[in-house]
Every structure is written in C-alpha cells, then in structure tokens.
C-alpha cells in the first residue's frame, strides 16, 4: 500500500484548483498518490504577475526543487532561464499537458496577440527535450506531437474519481429531455458548428427536449430552447444528474484536436450517453453506438438529437456502457497507479 513511502513530488501547476485543467490533472490525484506513500505539494502559478509575485514564486519553486524527488510542470511552460535554474537544482523534471498549447483557442484564433503568445509557447514546447525526463500527455494526439521532440512520452487520459460520480440512469424520467453541456465560456463558440442542426432537430421535437448550458456565461441559440445555470465549483454532479444526454460539439481545428474530451468522460461517468463531434480525443473516448454517437454532418447531428430525444431505452443502454468504459479506462482508480509508477521511475533515474 505504501510502495512509494518517503518519495516526494512537487507539482508546479498552471492554475489553482478552481480551474479544470489543474484540478483534473493534479489535485484530484493527490489523495491516491498520498495513499501509496507519496508526499505531495502543489505550487500554482500566480495569476497576477508583478516583480514581487515573480520573486516569491521563484523562491518557492527553488525550495520545492530542493525538497522534491520529482517535479511535475503541469501545463506550465516557463521561460528557459527559470527552467534551467530549477533543473540545475533538481534534474528530475516531468512535463504534463492536456491542450494543444502551440495553437490559440478557437475563440481567439484570429487575434494577433493570441497567435504571438502561442507561437512563444510552441517554441518553449520544443525546448522540452533539454530538461524533461519524460512527458505525460492527456491524449494520443498530444502524445504524437510530443514524440516529434522526444521519445519518453506517456499517455494518461484526463480521468474522474469514480467515488465522486454516482451513476444516474438517464433513460427514464418525466419531462423534457435535457441535452446538457458543461464547460468554460471560451468554448461556447463550439455550438456555432451545430446551430443549424439543433434548430432543425428542436423544431421537429417541438417542446419535448431542451438544451441545458452550465457555464460561467449564458448562451443564446436562436430557434433552440436553452436553459442556463451558472457553474459553481464542486457542484458538477448536480449538473450532470440534471442531464439526459451529454453534448460535446467541437470545431475541427488544431486546438480542438488537442483537447482531451473531459466533458465526454464526465458524461459517461455519470451514466449519460454522449453526442460528440469526431474530433481529436473524442474518437478515443466515445465508441459509436456503444457509449454515444459521433455525427459527422448536420444531418447526422439532427438525426442523433431526434433519436435520443425519443428513445429512452437507447439512452439508458449507451449510458451504462459508457460508465463501464470509464471504469476500465478513464478513472483515477485505474490511472493513479500509472502516474505513481511513472513518477517513481523518474525519482529512481
């Protein structure tokens, strides 16, 4: 049980626990790592930079580099002088990521400042072989990109703690069928790719279903009935259990191909069928007609929405199958031992 007793790992995260990437990739793993003997500490990157915060952060990071057996940079591409400084203190460094950091988000893809910022991140990514002992990617697409620069690349998909995801049988419930979406406001633009299909489907459904959006900002879709609920930390299960079907539309861009499909994993963990665009990690997660549907055109999206709005038995079957897939492949219970093993190998190197 305490195989890694006495080993210490420091996580330098891009965000604190309030942001999904760091919460899913680091904070949710801490209880499991500690149960195997790891001593863990986390240092989030400051969100408001000044000379003082930079100085304090550098001092804390240097102290952790001395303290830890392994340092994990979670989605954090620091300037090369600081990386070199920390590697000089402790060379056992790991990089973990779950986004195409070299590509700007779709919502700001045409913004010159965003393009410059992500070009810099791409340059820093290519610097990885000079300091990282290995890379942990959240999907095969991301891993393939990392393998252009180094060979020591592992894949650990973004995962859920099953103890926090009680299953809800989504097939049979009175009232309008809720097609739910949960996510960050910057990704609400993904609905533009299926707006036409939703309009046609909901015109045919005629009041028997609704789109439910859970995000920090609302979304309006002309011709589509939309309910909005503001997202609050640690209430995901309340939101998921109010859905009957989980939606994950994606644009076919490099940024979207690099996203790790955590929405789909959450939906499946809660026992919900998924309708997702066949882009990037979605094709690794959703098995068509087993855990959900992967429509490739407006017509297929319309047909999927209409079918799932009326077929409660199909919703239930897909939801149960999806839950089983999460238990086997996308749970922290399965993937925490893999993470502990990788960190242990780096600590021993």
Distance of alpha carbon 150 from alpha carbon 276, whole angstroms: 31
Distance of alpha carbon 29 from alpha carbon 97, whole angstroms: 15
DSSP-derived 3-state class of residue 219: coil
Within the chain, which residues score under 50 in pLDDT? none
Count of domains observed in the chain = 2
pLDDT, tens digit, for every residue of 298-334? 999 999 999 999 999 999 999 999 999 999 999 999 9
Distance of alpha carbon 314 from alpha carbon 216, whole angstroms: 31
Tokens of 78: 């620091």
Residues in the chain: 349
DSSP-derived 3-state class of residue 194: coil
Q: What are phi and psi of 242, to 5 degrees?
A: -95, -5
pLDDT for position 328: 97
Residues 168 and 214 reside in one and the same domain:
yes
Residues 119 and 221 reside in one and the same domain:
no
Domain coverage including residue 105: 8-159+332-348
Residues 155 and 177 reside in one and the same domain:
no
pLDDT for position 172: 55
pLDDT for position 3: 86
Residues 145 and 237 reside in one and the same domain:
no
Distance of alpha carbon 106 from alpha carbon 191, whole angstroms: 12
Burial 35-64 (b: 16+ CB within 10 A, else e): ebebbbebbbbeeeeeeeeeeebeeebbeb
**CATH classification of the domain holding 81:** 3.40.50.2000
pTM value is 0.93
Query: Is 3 part of a structural domain of the chain?
Result: no
pLDDT, tens digit, for every residue of 112-122? 887 888 888 88
pLDDT for position 170: 53
């Amino acid at each position: 049980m305490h195989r890694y007793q006495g080993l210490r790992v420091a996580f330098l995260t891009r965000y604190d626990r309030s942001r999904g990437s760091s919460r899913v990739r680091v904070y949710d793993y801490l209880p499991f790592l500690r149960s195997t003997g790891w001593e863990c500490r986390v240092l989030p990157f400051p969100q408001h930079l000044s000379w003082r915060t930079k100085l304090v952060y550098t001092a804390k990071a240097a102290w952790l580099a001395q303290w830890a057996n392994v340092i994990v940079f979670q989605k954090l591409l620091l300037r090369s002088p600081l990386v070199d400084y920390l590697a000089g203190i402790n060379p056992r460094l790991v990089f973990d990521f779950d986004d195409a950091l070299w590509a700007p988000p779709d919502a700001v893809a045409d913004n010159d400042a965003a393009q410059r910022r992500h070009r810099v991140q791409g340059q820093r990514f290519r610097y990885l072989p000079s300091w990282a002992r290995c890379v942990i990617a959240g999907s095969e697409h991301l891993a393939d990109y990392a393998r252009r620069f180094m060979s020591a690349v592992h894949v650990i998909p973004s995962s859920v703690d099953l103890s926090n995801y009680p299953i809800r049988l989504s097939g049979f419930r009175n009232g309008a069928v809720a097609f739910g979406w949960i996510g960050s406001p910057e990704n609400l633009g993904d609905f533009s790719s299926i707006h036409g299909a939703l309009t046609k489907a909901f015109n045919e459904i005629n009041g028997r279903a609704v789109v439910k959006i859970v995000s920090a900002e609302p979304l309006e879709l002309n011709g589509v009935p939309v309910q909005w609920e503001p997202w609050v930390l640690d209430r995901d299960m309340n939101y998921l259990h109010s859905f009957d079907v989980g939606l994950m539309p994606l644009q076919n861009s490099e940024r979207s191909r690099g996203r790790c499909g955590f929405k789909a994993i959450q939906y499946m963990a809660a026992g919900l069928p998924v309708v997702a665009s066949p882009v990037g990690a979605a094709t690794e997660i959703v098995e068509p007609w087993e855990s959900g549907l992967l429509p490739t055109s407006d017509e297929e999206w319309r047909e999927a929405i209409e079918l799932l709005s009326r077929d409660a038995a199909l919703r239930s079957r897909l939801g149960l199958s999806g839950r089983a897939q999460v238990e086997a492949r996308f749970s922290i219970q399965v993937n925490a031992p893999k993470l502990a093993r990788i960190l242990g190998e780096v600590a021993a190197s």
